[in-house]
């Protein structure tokens, strides 16, 4: 199966990104042909500082490589290095109903959050569809809350195929059932937009400091506590062994536990979890030519696939006869 996914360079990657998606991406490499890209075109919908786009893109690349991306087996590139996707976006736009885009919940949610709407934000699903369809993707790994993105892509592909013939593979979503909803230090879902993240590779002292600030309830030490309602316990689930997790659950329910104890242990486990990858990440920071070479090579491999698909679409709509 051909698997495709992208991640925006909209900030430094955090443990929510890792446990929510990146870890699954890396696991899928063992069984599938994976196409992973850094979605810098998509990041432009929020009008970021230009220098930030370039720097964060390289940061995402270093994170993925350090965490175990197989650059020989997996095709990994920067989205904007394959401009064929923007031409395909236009071809797909011409068969995409306005109503389909108006129903997209992600657009409505972002506007409700106060983001100033622009055409890029509104038309985002068409570019996303082009990303998926141009590489003839079979599966797209997503959480259950992102299923609509793939439904929109399927709808666009089917509409195009009905008008112009069977050009595109109609993809399926690969729902990551075990995807972790990672709480941030304020208890809400960890997100750069909330400013509540713990970065994957931030300094260890900073990781400890942030974990000690994770919001908890105000129950006294002697009171029993519900682990299922505690952000600290939710984070422990990500990095503790099953035996240790069981011990912590018993301590919570028995009473006599201060949250500070759990936070200190969580900090140790979180730092130890990512410690094997820190040296590789530091090495990459001192070898940016290698990182850029990885992205350039990935782009060439991606372009060979994208070019074939785009040419078929051009011929189908009458641009090449």
DSSP lists the bridge partners of residue 14 as 199
What backbone phi and psi angles, to 5 degrees, belong to 12? -70, 140
User: What is the DSSP-derived secondary structure letter of residue 193?
Assistant: G
Could you give the CA distance from residue 128 to residue 304 in angstroms, rounded to a whole number?
19
Catalytic residue among 110, 210, 225, 263: 110
Containing 262, the helix (H) or strand (E) segment is helix 259-285
Residues 60, 61, 62, 68, CA torsion sign: positive
Which residue in 276, 295, 282 sits closest to 58, CA to CA? 295
Distances from the Cα of 64 to the Cαs of 4, 38, 56, 108, 295, in angstroms? 15, 10, 12, 31, 11
The catalytic position among 12, 33, 192, 312 is 192
**C-alpha 257, offset from chain centre:** 35
DSSP letter assigned to residue 144? G
Asked if 192 is an active-site residue, the reply is yes
Q: Provide the strand spans (E) within 79-149.
A: 139-142
Instruction: Find the catalytic residue in 189, 237, 264, 312.
Output: 189
Select from 271, 306, 292 the least CA-distant residue to 15.
271
Instruction: Indicate the pairing of strand 172-175 with strand 33-38.
Output: unpaired
Provide the residue count of the chain. Answer: 321
In eight-state DSSP terms, residue 319 is: S
Alpha carbon distance 308, 281 (integer Å): 35
- Establish whether 189 is a catalytic residue: yes
Q: Active-site residues: which are they?
A: 110, 189, 192
């Amino acid at each position: 199966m051909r698997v495709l996914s992208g991640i925006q360079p909209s900030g430094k990657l955090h443990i929510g990104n890792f446990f929510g998606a990146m870890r699954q991406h890396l696991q899928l490499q063992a069984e599938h042909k994976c196409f992973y890209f850094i979605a810098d075109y998509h990041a432009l919908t929020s009008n970021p500082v230009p220098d930030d786009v370039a720097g964060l893109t390289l940061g995402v690349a270093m994170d993925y490589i350090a965490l175990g991306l197989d650059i020989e087996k997996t095709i990994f590139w920067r989205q904007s290095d394959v401009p064929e996707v923007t031409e395909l976006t236009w071809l797909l736009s011409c068969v995409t109903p306005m109503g389909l885009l108006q129903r997209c919940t992600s657009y409505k949610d972002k506007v409700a959050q106060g983001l100033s709407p622009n055409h890029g934000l509104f038309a985002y699903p068409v570019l996303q569809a082009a990303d998926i369809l141009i590489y003839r993707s079979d599966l797209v790994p997503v959480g259950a809350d992102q299923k609509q993105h793939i439904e929109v892509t399927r709808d666009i592909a089917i509409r195009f195929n009905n008008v112009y013939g069977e050009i595109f593979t109609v993809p399926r979503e690969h729902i990551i059932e075990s995807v972790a909803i990672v709480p941030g230090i304020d208890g809400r879902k960890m997100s750069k937009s909330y400013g509540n993240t713990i970065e994957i590779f931030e300094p260890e002292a900073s990781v400890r400091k942030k974990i000690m600030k994770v919001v908890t309830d105000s129950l006294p030490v002697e009171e029993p506590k519900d682990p299922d309602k505690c952000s600290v316990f939710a984070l422990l689930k990500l990095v503790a062994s099953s035996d240790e997790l069981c011990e912590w659950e018993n301590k919570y329910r028995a009473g006599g536990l201060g949250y500070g104890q759990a936070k200190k242990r969580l900090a140790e486990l979180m730092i130890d979890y990512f410690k094997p990858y820190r040296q590789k990440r530091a090495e990459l920071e001192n070898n940016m030519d290698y990182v850029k070479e990885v992205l350039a090579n990935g782009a060439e491999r991606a372009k060979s696939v994208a070019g074939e698909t785009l040419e078929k679409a051009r011929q189908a709509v009458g641009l090449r006869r």
